[in-house]
Structure 1
Amino acid sequence: MATAAEPIGRMAPYGPEHLAILMFTVLIAGVLALLGRRIRGTAAEDRLLRALGWIMLIATVAWVIWGMLPGHWNIYQSLPFHYSDALRVITAIALITRAGWAIAMCYYWGLTLNLQSIITPDLNYFDYPVLEFAMYWFLHIVAFVAPILFTWGLGYRPTWRGYGVAYLATVIWAGIALIANAITGANYGYLSREPEGASILDLLGPWPVYIFWEAVLIAVVWALMTWPWQLNHGQRYSTVDRLGTIRRKPTGGRSRTSAQHMI
């Protein structure tokens, strides 16, 4: 079995760089939410989402290829089996196509599973710290702010069907990551052992106990992320068709309506 290269450094959680990135992330999320409200239903909305989606997809594919080059290969990091690896592609699909299943997964994964990588980053440097720092944060920040743009900016709403799709996809991806871990000895998804650094998982007990509690916590938190939208949708929306597409009532004197869906 191939061995992994040893890291040459590691970003200190809650150091100056991390705190600056957290503040930048909050700022970008707020700006995109406000911008989304201004361009909702216009041609600029489509242009913005497609541009962000293609940038995300190109960066994701390029980074995977970069990690698999002989000089950068690391069996513990290079294979795309972390949840964040799948989320990057899903986020790009959501931005480019506005597919309901992709927006749903973008919402649930991006605001919870991906958030762990932002709050408690496990960022090791192997070859080029500046590049590795920039790509780590770019990919995780886009995956975090995209669902905020969709939901609080453009008016897309989560549904119980989307909740079920996202949870089922989470279980399926866990199975895929476990198979990859068994073959490679890696720890994709942090499903085979605890992360090396401090993380939110430390609060849920040792491995494998934390996997059970993580599954329970995800189910509860995602339900709480769905329930308020569904509780009030009857007061805010005019029609819901059989495919789960919700059409927003015109607000603020605007005459247009826009299909807002998250399966």
Structure 2
Amino acid sequence: MGWFGRSNKFFEFNMYAQSHLVILAIYILMTVVIFIRSKKWNDKEWRRTEIGVAISLILFEITNQLWMYVNGVWKIGRSLPLELCNIGLILCVILLLTKKKVIFELLFFIAILGANQAIFTPALTYDFPHFRFFHFFYTHLVIVWVSLYFMWAKRYSPTLGTTIKQIIFINLLLPIIMFVNKHANGNYWFLRHKPKSPSLFDLLGPYPWYIFSLESLLILLSLITWAILRKWGTNKGDRSHTQ
């Protein structure tokens, strides 16, 4: 079938094959561009771009939900926007529309740790030029780029409080995700079993111990990331964006 239809052998994704390497090259290039040009992007002229990116994320996710429904693969146990990166996408849209720093704080570590990990070790079935390939990488890349944009251009820096808020936020969501997994036979957040494709989970031990390992690793990596990146932002933005 075509680029919007269900998968066949032509669309089978292989990690670090040509299409994946091209995405990684684009990711690195755009990250460098955001860093270099960030001082020129902190003006009102970019407001339309911010709103446009938010709308594009909404349209991509709506189209993805429609794709799953039309192709008969939509299931409550795997298709709800409950994965961390799906939650990151929602937070990213809210951040672009409101510019609230509290949203940045909830998004930041999901983007830097979660979306980044997904970009480099994607749990993906569909290769280029399938729609699902574009949806996966576009949404994950934009989540990271928007977080870096707000840090470098808008001067929203992560703080120790950001780390604490993120950990509390994720742990408040945890019982909800476990409840949905149990009653919908789902595996959101990979809380019932590891992803089939190679990932960081493979280094964290067997089920259920890898969940506790992941929690400890989240805290450790969040603190390390905060320590490294805290100097990039200065929190000199409009105070109206800090609540």
Distance 2:120 2:185 in 1: 26
Q: Deviations over 1:203-261 (max 9, x none)?
A: 1111211111111111111112223566x69xx96xxxxxxxx327xxxxxxxxx5596
Q: Deviations over 1:128-175 (max 9, x none)?
A: 961111111111111121111111233211122222221111112222
The higher relative CO (CA closer than 8 Å, separation ≥ 6) is in 2
Q: Which residue of 2 aligns with 1:97?
A: 98
TM-score normalised by L of structure 2: 0.85
Amino acid aligned to 1:197: S
After TM superposition, give the deviation of residue 53 of structure 1 in Å.
1.8
Distance 2:22 2:78 in 1: 25
Larger radius of gyration: 1
Q: Which residue of 2 aligns with 1:21?
A: 23
Q: Which residue of 2 aligns with 1:247?
A: 236
Unaligned runs of 5+ in 2: 1-5
Distance 1:69 1:89 in 2: 23
TM-score normalised by L of structure 1: 0.79
Secondary structure of the corresponding residue to residue 124 of structure 1: coil
Change in Cα spacing, 1:260 to 1:204, as seen in structure 2 (3 Å) is farther
Secondary structure of the corresponding residue to residue 247 of structure 1: coil
After TM superposition, give the deviation of residue 194 of structure 1 in Å.
1.1
The yes-or-no answer on 1:191 pairing with 2:180 is no
Amino acid aligned to 1:145: W
Amino acid aligned to 1:140: H
Distance 2:178 2:7 in 1: 23
Distance 2:208 2:241 in 1: 36
After TM superposition, give the deviation of residue 184 of structure 1 in Å.
2.0
Q: How many residues align?
A: 236
Amino acid aligned to 1:14: Y
The yes-or-no answer on 1:114 pairing with 2:103 is no
* Residues 89 and 143 in structure 2, CA contact (< 8 A), matched pair in contact too: yes
Q: Which residue of 2 aligns with 1:243?
A: none
Higher strand share: 1
* Residues 64 and 132 in structure 2, CA contact (< 8 A), matched pair in contact too: no
Distance 1:155 1:260 in 2: 14
Q: 1:30-49 residue pairs with structure 2 within 5 A?
A: 30-40=32-42, 42-49=43-50
RMSD: 2.7
After TM superposition, give the deviation of residue 17 of structure 1 in Å.
1.2
Secondary structure of the corresponding residue to residue 47 of structure 2: helix
Q: Percent identity?
A: 22
